[in-house]
Amino acid sequence: RKEVEQDPGPFNVPEGATVAFNCTYSNSASQSFFWYRQDCRKEPKLLMSVYSSGNEDGRFTAQLNRASQYISLLIRDSKLSDSATYLCVVNLPSNDYKLSFGAGTTVTVRA
């Protein structure tokens, strides 16, 4: 079983729509969770960390469900510039430098 699994999509949504997707992780000891964004196979860039209580950054909301071992990302009021691949990332406290990446969920926002 992969450490981090994501629905590859693509999610094709119109501008202004809300889009949400999840990722699941296999190791219950995982402690840190992140969403990264990757454009056209360029370098990944940190979008936001995911906290236990859930957190929001502008139009982006991240949730963590430890019991079911999944993380979600919701994007409200989608913009064309949100088109990208969103990478779910987790790591373990024993090796907090070793990031485990999902293969990514592709989102395409159309005009």
Q: Which residues bind other proteins (CB under 8 A)?
A: 4, 41-46, 87, 95-104
Rounded to a whole number of angstroms, the minimum distance from the CB of residue 17 to other proteins is 26
| Beta-bridge mates of residue 55 | 62
H-helix or E-strand containing 55? strand 55-57
In the bound state with other proteins, the residue whose beta carbon lies nearer, of 23 and 78, is: 23
Smaller CB distance to other proteins: residue 87 or 109? 87
Closest CB 97 distance from other proteins, rounded Å: 5
Smallest gap from residue 74 Cβ to other proteins (A) = 21
Q: Which residues contact 47 (CB under 8 A, 6 or more apart)?
A: 34, 35, 36, 37, 57, 60, 73, 86
